[in-house]
Amino acid sequence: MTTYLMAQCVMCYRTVSAQQAAMSRVFNNGILILLVPPVFVMCVVAWLALRKRGGQSS
């Protein structure tokens, strides 16, 4: 049951539930790995925005 909790959407949930446990773990790890680049880009953009905002005098 815990392998199904990590699935991100209904389509992913159904795909994972139809697979074996080992394949489910690989699939869920793939989802988490694909999440890393967007989060990294978002953090860089936020850091640049805060750095620019902090450099201006009011």
Predicted confidence (pLDDT) per residue in 22-51, tens digit = 877 888 788 888 889 999 999 999 999 999
- Residue whose pair of structure tokens reads 């860089």 in the numeric block: 44
* Domain count across the chain: 1
The model's pTM is 0.58
Domain that holds residue 7: 2-55
Report yes or no: 7 and 28 within 8 Å, Cβ to Cβ. yes
| Between residues 16 and 46, the one the model is more confident about | 46
